[in-house]
Amino acid sequence: MLKVIILVIISELWNAAGQILYKKGLNELTSMSLTTLGGVIDFLKYVFTHPCVWLGIGSMVVCIAFWIAALAQADLSFVYPIGSIQYVFVMLAAHFLLGEKLDWRKLAGTALVVGGVILISMT
């Protein structure tokens, strides 16, 4: 089971990297209007030509490869809850890399997620 947990953790680290890259790429968007067809087309042009978005997509491909490897070796009912560790990774990465604020609610909620992951991984 340790091997599966390690595969899931690696997968979720790549997932977190992808989420951070998406957000970093999209932080540069200002108030782009999505209410008209032209606005939607401009938005899509921006999104699909930004390097951070493509790096995020690449990160997600690596994430999926590790996820599939974990699923091949354990039950989904075990692997999926362990994958919720991504909330911890994304929260910490958003704080340290994007400067997002942490408050007691986010920390308490994340602590509950970690507690659940520990309980599930003990089976």
What b/e sequence results for 70-80 when a residue is b if at least 16 CB atoms lie within 10 Å of its CB, and e otherwise? bbeebeeebbe
Average pLDDT over residues 67-95: 92
Question: Count of domains in the chain?
Answer: 1
Domain of 18? 2-121
Q: How far apart are CA 59 and CA 101, in angstroms?
A: 24
Q: What is the pLDDT of residue 46?
A: 83
Residue with tokens 């604020």: 101
Token pair, residue 86, equals: 């991504």
Q: What is the pLDDT of residue 120?
A: 77
H-helix or E-strand spanning residue 43 = helix 37-49
Average pLDDT over residues 74-91: 89
Average pLDDT over residues 77-87: 88
Q: How far apart are CA 62 and CA 41, in angstroms?
A: 28
Q: What is the pLDDT of residue 37?
A: 82
pLDDT at residue 99 is higher than 90 = yes
CB half-sphere exposure, 51, CA atoms < 13 A? 0
Q: What is the pLDDT of residue 117?
A: 79
Q: Mind listing the pLDDT tens digit for each residue in 26-68?
A: 887 766 667 778 878 888 888 888 899 899 999 999 999 999 9
Average pLDDT over residues 65-81: 93
